[in-house]
Amino acid sequence: MFNLFKLFVIVIIGSAASWAEDDQGILSFDRSVSFTENFEPVIPRLQQDQAVAEKLALLHARTGRRPNILWLVVDDMGYGDPGCYGGGTLAGASTPHIDRLAAGGLKLTSCYAQQTCTPTRSAILTGRLPVRTGLTRPILAGDKITINPWTDEVSLPKLLSDAGYFTLLTGKWHVGESEGMRPHDVGFDEYYGYYPAQKEISQRVDVRRFPGLVLNPERLAAFEAVGPADHLTHGFKGGETKELQQIRSIEDMGKADQVLADFTVKRLQELASGDKPFFVEHCFMKVHCDNFAHPDYAGKSEAKYPYKDAVHEVDVHVGSFLKALDDSGVLENTLVFFTSDNGPQMDGWPDAGYTPFRGAKGTTWEGGVRVPGIAYWKGMISPNRTSDGLFDLMDLFGVALNLAGVSSDKLPADKYYDFIDQTSFLLADGGQSKREAVYFWWGTELMACRMKEYKVHVKIVMAEAPHMHIDLATVRDVGLAPWFFNLYLDPKEEMTVGHRLDPWMATVSGKLKAHGATFKRYPPKNIGL
């Protein structure tokens, strides 16, 4: 009832000529409106939406086809690794191509992932939080999943394929490697990559780090029985799945990203001249530990450490993809989004990235979940934009549906959707975010919520030894009051502003409770993870 009233007020005010979208904040601290019960409430930006719809219509009239979408997802890259996010040369690996991408488009400073790989990768393809789909943590060797979570999910590649797109995933998948859960089983037309993370593959052949496994035939055989796939795989929807080269050495592992990048470059060139728009998700194997340098990139970073050489290599490939789009004449009809699937894995240091924030991968501190997010689209996104507006990587799902012209009524009404269509935020000159809150989960635990510059924690992940955020960490309840931080005053979440010092904690805590309540109406799925 309250929301309906609020919607009424906003519509009335919104129709006045003098209405400025910035002024919505005066209505209440929480500006979001629930338009449909099973969708995340949004901050209405009517003029912004309209302006961008017109901009897209003009582009469509010029090109005669829907825009292409290219996602570049790095594994475990820290917020502070790219130069444009404060790292680069300072952190021992300059990133000129990534920096150029940011300078040519929109750099997001409050872009959020889930705190580990599988949750992020599944969330961006389903538009739903991992706790809803059951994909709450990385699927590891030996895991027995009780039901295939994809069976009743409507995946983004399926929706885009149905809308006339060609859909390809290159690289790391990590959302299930058994039949029925592979990329080409869940909607992608084509898949070319490795199912697991680098370390899961290389541990079988890395005698220096895992001698107890590699040098013990009996243990190795037992491991192989449940071990993750180690072949490059090429699969087609409804067609063949071919196993190509096996990773037989750490040298092979070091070369994997070059093989994948060459493939994506070739496919981008082919798809650009094809008769369909395309959606390509390129998922790097690097910079997840353990990083082994490709001989062409060894020692090429300023730091000359394997991790830093891996950052350098990723940057080179980003440059190659942009060049391929440009040379093929589709740069002006392709949205490129660059990001990382979670914060740096500090447990693996020094084979780990850099974040200026507290915590790291595996935690719901900013260090675990705040990631680089760059939207680039020549001619459609103005250069040199930076925004601190909230963006959850799940919002990429909504942006892709918008660009492909897929209506949200294609999505089932009995499921709750957490994404927000942020197309107008990304594309409008001075565009503002339509997201009022980001929710942070750790497995099936609801941990925290960010609204504006505030973040409230009701549970926390505490490293029990310095930088051990996964392998020596515990999840704890907070005490009498939630831990409440003002991220503008204290980006590192070290000094709580406390419930007595700030008037907004009750509002942010209330938002968290309202979010929790959505699970009563739309129960989460348990897949046995």
What residues line the site for Ca ion (CB under 5 A)? 75-76, 117, 341-342
CB 461 within 8 A of CB 444: no
Does the annotation count 174 as an active-site position?
A: yes
Of 108 and 117, which CB lies nearer to Ca ion in the complex structure? 117
- Whole-number Å distance between alpha carbons of 396 and 337: 9
The pairing of beta strand 334-340 with beta strand 68-74: parallel
Strands (E), 352-509: 370-376, 385-387, 391-392, 437-442, 445-451, 454-457, 459-463, 473-477, 483-486
Of 117 and 159, which CB lies nearer to Ca ion in the complex structure? 117
Of 117 and 271, which CB lies nearer to Ca ion in the complex structure? 117
Of 198 and 496, which CB lies nearer to Ca ion in the complex structure? 198
Q: DSSP states of 320-375 as a string?
A: HHHHHHHHTT-GGGEEEEEEESSS--GGGTTSS---SSS--TTSSSHHHHEEEEEE
Of 341 and 392, which CB lies nearer to Ca ion in the complex structure? 341
Of 99 and 341, which CB lies nearer to Ca ion in the complex structure? 341
CB of 296 to Ca ion, least distance (A): 24
CB of 291 to Ca ion, least distance (A): 13
**Cα-Cα end-to-end distance for the chain:** 38
- Whole-number Å distance between alpha carbons of 148 and 122: 13
The pairing of beta strand 68-74 with beta strand 391-392: unpaired
Helix %, strand %, coil % for the chain, to 5? Answer: 35, 20, 45
Residue nearest to Ca ion (CB): 117
Of 40 and 341, which CB lies nearer to Ca ion in the complex structure? 341
From 271, 268, 194, 276, select the one nearest 235 (Cα to Cα). 194
For residue 308, the one-letter residue type is: K
CB of 232 to Ca ion, least distance (A): 19
DSSP state, residue 39: B
Non-local (6+) Cβ contacts of 335 within 8 A are 67, 68, 69, 70, 375, 376, 377, 380, 399, 403, 426
Q: Which of 84, 97, 111, 174 is catalytic?
A: 174
CB of 168 to Ca ion, least distance (A): 20
Q: Which of 84, 117, 283, 449 is catalytic?
A: 117
Non-local (6+) Cβ contacts of 380 within 8 A are 55, 59, 332, 335, 427
Of 313 and 341, which CB lies nearer to Ca ion in the complex structure? 341
Does the annotation count 97 as an active-site position?
A: no
Q: DSSP states of 164-228 as a string?
A: T-EEEEEE---S--STTSSTTTTT-SEEEE-SS-HHHHHTTT-TTT-HHHHT-HHHHHHHHHHPP
* Token representation of residue 312: 């350098």
What is the SS3 assignment for 83? helix
For residue 359, the one-letter residue type is: G
Active site residues: 117, 174
